[in-house]
Homo-oligomer: A and B are copies of this chain.
């Protein structure tokens, strides 16, 4: 008995330490998103955008504390019971046994909320953003988490009686986090409309080609991208949750390597496909840093669902396709005149969908068995090569993606539409033209590079 206690103490300590470590890395991603947003907007919208990023983190913390976690995991994370649509215990952290898990999940909720910040940049009112941020992290996102990750979710692989005998396999949230955030961003930007001057001139006539509105600092964008890559190791590896259980330490390393390879493949694909297209069209060899950075993120989003259950070569393929898909979707959005200031929709939505589906195609039975204790239904390519063409897992992934797309559409469309209808969504058009910082902060600019001149005038 004394022995058992000692071992339990070690297990609990190490598991907690690992999860806190991962939670801190995931929370660090808030810094990354903030830097990407700050770098991607024009100089007179920096303060405004950054404030949204900071309030995201705070709103998610308060929303998750009050009801979000309860909706997501209430109804016992550890004791499987019947399937429910939404959790109903653990409000206000009450009776939450694994508090490190709470922190980890809070950091995920904050990530989900912050994905949208960049898309709406430069034209969305602050108060609308606040409403949205709380609604997403306290209600819409937790329902998705409950369905796919809790023991009581109808799609969950942890359900005692999972859908089609396997449930949806979304290890770290390509679908749960990124499709939720990305779809919300798509709905919001559709209702909000593009930035003034992006696709039409001042008289409302369509421009021949969209006017580029480049951000003011690629260094900050790159800083943010690298921080996200770093944080993603916590996001993906941390999703093993219990480091000291079975041989989970092997899973942790495997996940980290897959994450690395997918990021690299996504970067290279997005960059060089664009270079090839440009060379074909113009004859000049150019390299687009923005596509490289977003290709990197697309690779990361793509591998998030499958990082624990696919082989490393598959991670390369998944990341590469994710990078290519991102590039196509980014160009498609511009063609469809949907304005996304940071390309969050192609990065998170399309790669998120692809990542979720990729598991249905490429999940390896050995890893499935190691991670989910069940290799009855592997990826379709594996089943097919074994002659069975068992598509149960693929079907679960498709159902999961459709569920999330549907749920977000059903809840978020009326939400943003009502905000828009009552005039709370879109910033005043004059404010938009001069930059939101001017109106909201009383005329102060971001980069006060001429402050020195002021001093000289003074003296």
Contact = CB atoms under 8 A, between A and B. Distances in A.
Interface string A38-68: 1100111011101101110111011001000
A458 B197 contact: yes
8 contacts: A17-B243, A24-B25, A27-B230, A46-B218, A58-B267, A65-B312, A100-B253, A214-B448
Interface stretch (A283-291, A326-334, A364-372): A283-291
Nearest to A53: B222
A254 interface: yes
A447 interface: yes
A75 interface: no
A211 B6 CA distance: 63
Contact of A253 (B10, B62, B99, B284): B99
A312 B92 contact: yes
A298 to B, nearest CB: 13
| Copies of this chain in its oligomeric complex | 3
Contact of A217 (B127, B263, B446): B446
A147 interface: no
Contacts of A220: 219
Given A249-B12, A441-B289, A447-B449, A267 B55 contact: yes
A204 interface: no
A215 B46 CA distance: 14
A43 B217 CA distance: 10
A13 interface: yes
A48 B271 CA distance: 13
A399 interface: no
Contacts of A46: 218-219
